[in-house]
């Protein structure tokens, strides 16, 4: 008999990550890392062939910024992270895997061997980023029980805390502003179900953008006073960034803050009020308000239908966020579950549920897709490129949809199906998810033979594609050829390297 597995939930954040497990009573508890802290900065320091993850790496940013990589999550979906370390660039999902491996090791120190976990992603993550997260878990040696959306996880934690899971359905708005991403989700909670009604967000908006405004403000002051621009010197920038983030935190607690900064030997002292800071960042906050309004519109509900507004993510500590939401929704946002821990707690509850844990109120999670999924086609009349949407955004998952297309020429021997994700009518402006190539079509196939493309979009936001050619041809599952994904060999290589605590590139990798 195998020992019962701990139910581990991991919030793999842009700035900070956290993990939680379920105690003997089925209640989520945050795990401390090896430094004794609940949050692990998602920051990596490359040092003499070693990779250090967490607080030490974050502190090193002030002096060794050129050896430090942060915000890998923001670059998921690209082939390589743009930061070069000793002339090397790494795939973002590998950097995420290194953070996951540290969280796993630290969890094992408390709980014993860990095989599997639930990992969370922003609701607004597209398929490519979800696949990259799955790959990161694989490289970290973790079996992924499920990927769930961060706001869903937060709502699960909230539902558990307030025993709403089996109560009458309530509509909850989850506003999640972290370090690097913004998500807003409207959910229905109750009757044993967490049902997402609509979701939207911005993967390039978070606390770092608020930091950047302070960095620019301070840099311009240094430039005016000393003719030195700290943004042009990596080390100075690293230090200034930390100071500005601290100042931002001070401004959440106080009406005024002071920045002390050493600008190449010149001492720079700058003051800013919370009001000035809010003015300098009001457009960022307005972007989140706009998305929040749009998300509610997508559900067809009114503000009066919303019974709770939940705050998730460290950046919701900025007083301007609560104020904006109070004005927008007419409700005082709920802070009863810690914004830093809610997501990991919900993930642990979901893991416990999937592992068949006792003491848990059973629940189901139902999701929607956050981006429309379609095929790049051509307008029959104009021949211009046009996106044929098969699964519109906010469709409940799992979803299956079919589209019928036609071969172009007589005797065509292969078909290329280009799969895209996004809202633009022009497929070139959508995110290119991958392609399927169907070869060796029967000879002498007439032009305009129907090609039926079927999408099967799973609950975890991952896609399967099958293509059938001709009226009665059997449909064939097709592997998506992805532009920026690691190959199976590369994944296995990095998995072995991480397990061995080294980081040598595969021989064939440039």
Annotated active-site residue 108? The verdict is no
74 binds ligand AMP (CB under 6 A): no
For residues 200 and 295, the answer to whether their CB atoms sit within 8 Å is yes
14 binds ligand AMP (CB under 6 A): yes
CB of 490: closest distance to ligand AMP in angstroms? 28
Structure tokens that stand for 114 in this block: 């860990």
Structure tokens that stand for 311 in this block: 């705050």
Question: Which one of the spans 152-160, 313-321, 367-375, 443-451 is the region binding ligand AMP (CB under 6 A)?
Answer: 313-321
Question: Which one of the spans 309-317, 395-403, 408-416, 423-431 is the region binding ligand AMP (CB under 6 A)?
Answer: 309-317
CB of 106: closest distance to ligand AMP in angstroms? 17
Report the distance separating Cα 20 and Cα 342, nearest Å: 10
Annotated active-site residue 176? The verdict is yes
CB of 38: closest distance to ligand AMP in angstroms? 11
Structure tokens that stand for 480 in this block: 């998506």
**CB nearer ligand AMP, residue 317 or residue 435:** 317
Contacts 24+ apart (CB under 8 A), 58-62: 61/238, 61/241, 61/242, 62/235, 62/238, 62/239, 62/242
Report the distance separating Cα 457 and Cα 374, nearest Å: 11
List C-alpha distances in Å: 137 to 49, 93, 104, 131, 491: 22, 9, 10, 10, 10
From the list 73, 83, 131, 248, the catalytic residue is 73
Catalogue the E-assigned strands of 162-304.
170-177, 182-190, 193-202, 256-263, 266-273
CB of 307: closest distance to ligand AMP in angstroms? 24
Applying CB under 6 A, which of residues 129, 160, 248, 435 lies at the interface with ligand AMP?
248
CB of 228: closest distance to ligand AMP in angstroms? 25
From the list 93, 126, 135, 176, the catalytic residue is 176
Question: Which one of the spans 167-175, 244-252, 455-463, 495-503 is the region binding ligand AMP (CB under 6 A)?
Answer: 244-252
Applying CB under 6 A, which of residues 6, 13, 54, 352 lies at the interface with ligand AMP?
13
- The continuous run of DSSP H or E covering 62 comes out as none
Applying CB under 6 A, which of residues 133, 315, 369, 387 lies at the interface with ligand AMP?
315
- Torsion angle (degrees, nearest 10) of CA 197, 431, 447, 471: -30
Q: Which residue is nearest to ligand AMP (CB)?
A: 207
Alpha-carbon torsion 96, 102, 107, 112, what sign? positive
- Measured between its terminal Cα atoms, the distance across the chain in Å is 45
What residues from 325 to 354 belong to the interface with ligand AMP (CB under 6 A)?
A: 340
What residues from 165 to 194 belong to the interface with ligand AMP (CB under 6 A)?
A: 178-179
Encode 390-407: b = buried (16+ Cβ within 10 Å), e = exposed.
Answer: bbebbbebebebebebeb
Structure tokens that stand for 147 in this block: 């990927």
**CB nearer ligand AMP, residue 208 or residue 493:** 208
249 binds ligand AMP (CB under 6 A): yes
Applying CB under 6 A, which of residues 245, 284, 350, 455 lies at the interface with ligand AMP?
245
Applying CB under 6 A, which of residues 32, 252, 412, 464 lies at the interface with ligand AMP?
252
DSSP 144-190: EEEEEEHHHHHHHHHHHHTT-TTSS-EEEEEEEE-SS-EEEEEEEEE
- Using alpha carbons, select from 167, 177, 195, 192 the residue that is nearest to residue 324: 177
**CB nearer ligand AMP, residue 97 or residue 318:** 318
What residues from 15 to 54 belong to the interface with ligand AMP (CB under 6 A)?
A: 15-16
CB of 324: closest distance to ligand AMP in angstroms? 14
Annotated active-site residue 73? The verdict is yes
**CB nearer ligand AMP, residue 247 or residue 415:** 247
Kindly list the residues in this chain that would bind ligand AMP in the complex (CB under 6 A).
Answer: 13-16, 178-179, 207-208, 245, 248-249, 252, 313-315, 317-318, 340
Q: Which residues are catalytic?
A: 11, 73, 150, 176
């Amino acid at each position: 008999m195998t020992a019962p597995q701990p139910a581990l939930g991991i919030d793999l954040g842009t700035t900070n990550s956290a993990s939680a497990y379920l105690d003997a009573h089925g209640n989520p508890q945050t795990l401390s890392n090896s430094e004794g802290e609940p949050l692990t900065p998602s920051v990596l320091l490359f040092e003499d062939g070693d990779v250090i993850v967490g607080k030490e790496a974050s502190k090193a940013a002030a002096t060794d910024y050129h050896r430090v990589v942060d915000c890998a999550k923001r670059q998921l979906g690209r082939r390589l992270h743009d930061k070069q370390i000793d002339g090397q660039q790494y795939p973002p999902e590998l950097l995420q895997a290194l953070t996951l491996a540290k969280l796993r090791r630290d969890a094992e120190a408390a709980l014993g061997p860990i095989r599997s976990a639930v990992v969370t992603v922003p609701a607004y993550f597209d398929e490519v980023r979800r696949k990259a997260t799955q790959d990161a878990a694989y490289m970290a040696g973790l079996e992924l029980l499920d990927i769930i959306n961060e706001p869903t996880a937060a709502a699960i934690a909230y539902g558990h805390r307030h025993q709403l899971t089996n109560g009458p359905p309530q509509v909850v708005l989850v506003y999640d502003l972290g370090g690097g991403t913004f998500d807003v989700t409207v959910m229905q909670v109750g009757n044993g179900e967490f049902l997402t009604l609509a979701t939207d967000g911005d993967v390039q908006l978070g606390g770092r953008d608020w930091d950047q405004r302070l960095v620019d403000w301070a840099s311009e002051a240094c430039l005016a006073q000393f003719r030195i621009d700290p943004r042009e010197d990596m080390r100075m920038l690293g230090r200034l960034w930390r100071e500005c983030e601290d100042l931002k935190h001070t401004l959440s607690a106080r009406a005024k803050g002071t920045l002390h900064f050493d600008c190449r030997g010149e001492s720079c002292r700058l003051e800013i009020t919370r009001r000035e800071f809010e003015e300098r960042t009001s457009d960022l906050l307005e972007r989140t308000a706009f998305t929040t309004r749009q998300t509610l519109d997508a559900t067809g509900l009114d503000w009066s239908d919303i019974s709770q507004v939940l705050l998730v993510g460290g950046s919701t500590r900025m007083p301007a966020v609560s104020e904006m939401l109070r004005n927008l929704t007419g409700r005082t946002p709920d802070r009863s579950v810690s914004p830093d821990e809610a997501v990991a707690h919900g993930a642990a509850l979901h893991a416990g549920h999937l592992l068949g844990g006792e003491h848990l109120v059973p629940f189901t999670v139902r999701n929607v897709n956050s981006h429309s999924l379609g095929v790049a086609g051509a307008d029959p009349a104009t021949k211009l490129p046009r996106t044929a949407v098969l699964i519109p955004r906010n469709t409940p998952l799992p979803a299956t949809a079919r589209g019928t297309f036609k071969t172009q020429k007589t005797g065509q021997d292969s078909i290329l199906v280009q799969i895209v994700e996004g809202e633009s009518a022009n497929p070139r402006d959508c995110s290119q998810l991958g392609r399927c190539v169907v070869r060796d079509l029967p000879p002498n196939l007439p032009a305009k033979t129907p090609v039926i493309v079927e999408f099967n979009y799973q609950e975890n936001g991952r896609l399967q594609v099958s293509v059938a050619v001709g009226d009665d041809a059997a449909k064939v599952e097709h592997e998506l050829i992805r532009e920026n994904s690691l190959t199976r060999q590369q994944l296995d290589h990095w998995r072995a390297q991480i397990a061995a605590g080294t980081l040598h590139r595969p021989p064939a990798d440039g």
